[in-house]
């Protein structure tokens, strides 16, 4: 994975919370060296307001974030992905498109904050979104700490799987 910019696509079913949080976090923490994208197999059409609230709370830009279909990234003119990470179990089990370039795949499953927070007060629901965001942040920070230029595919796959098991 050595090179100029590494592109990572985060996948979730609805592309409204987890994958959006991961995209924004990676773009911020990756500082241009690693670029994050997100998409869903059945996008909900909008970003969850509490995901946006958490990102804004953390001072991250949200203007360009949108819920989109993963088909956008399976076309020849899409940015080439070096890594595709599923962040929900449902997307991990779905038949994915064939990604141009044959990127490495990993699964970093995290709980769906919208479902967990559905019957909670606004403050409790926001806390759930923060918790999920912090979990993704820890995994992304660990990913960014990897010596990518020195790792072969097997070692990278092992490291990515270990990151996916982090709490």
pLDDT for residue 1: 55
**CA R_g for the chain:** 15
Instruction: Report DSSP state, residue 150.
Output: G
pLDDT for residue 96: 66
> Is the pLDDT reported for residue 130 higher than 90?
yes
pLDDT for residue 117: 84
pLDDT digits (tens, 9 = 90+) for 18-68: 999 999 999 999 998 999 999 998 998 999 999 999 999 999 999 999 999
pLDDT digits (tens, 9 = 90+) for 80-106: 999 999 998 665 566 667 677 789 999
Beta-carbon contacts of 116 under 8 Å, excluding residues fewer than 6 positions away, are 128
pLDDT for residue 115: 87
CA–CA separation, 109 vs 105, rounded Å? 13
> Is the pLDDT reported for residue 3 higher than 60?
no
Computed over every residue of the chain, the mean pLDDT equals 91
**Bridge partner list, 34:** 6, 31
CA–CA separation, 14 vs 39, rounded Å? 8
CATH number of 6-164: 3.40.50.2300
pLDDT category at 5 given cuts 50, 70, 90 is confident
pLDDT for residue 92: 53
**Bridge partner list, 10:** 38, 85
CA distances 74 to 99, 133, 137, Å, are 5, 26, 26
CA–CA separation, 128 vs 111, rounded Å? 10
pLDDT for residue 76: 86
pTM of the model: 0.93
């Amino acid at each position: 994975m050595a090179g100029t910019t590494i592109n990572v696509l985060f996948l979730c079913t609805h592309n409204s919370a987890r994958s959006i949080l991961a995209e924004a976090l990676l773009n911020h923490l990756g500082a241009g060296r690693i670029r994050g994208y997100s998409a869903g197999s059945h996008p909900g059409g909008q970003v969850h307001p509490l995901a946006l609230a958490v990102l804004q709370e953390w001072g991250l830009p949200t203007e360009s974030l949108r819920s989109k279909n993963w088909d956008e990234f399976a076309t020849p003119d899409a940015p080439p992905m070096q890594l595709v990470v599923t962040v929900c179990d449902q997307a991990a089990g779905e038949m994915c498109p064939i990604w141009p370039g044959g990127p490495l795949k990993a699964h970093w499953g995290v709980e769906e904050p919208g479902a967990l927070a559905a019957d909670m007060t606004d403050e409790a629901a926001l806390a759930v979104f923060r918790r999920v965001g912090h979990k993704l942040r820890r995994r992304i920070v660990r990913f960014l700490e990897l010596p990518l230029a020195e790792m072969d595919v097997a070692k990278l796959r092992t490291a990515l799987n270990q990151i996916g098991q982090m709490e």
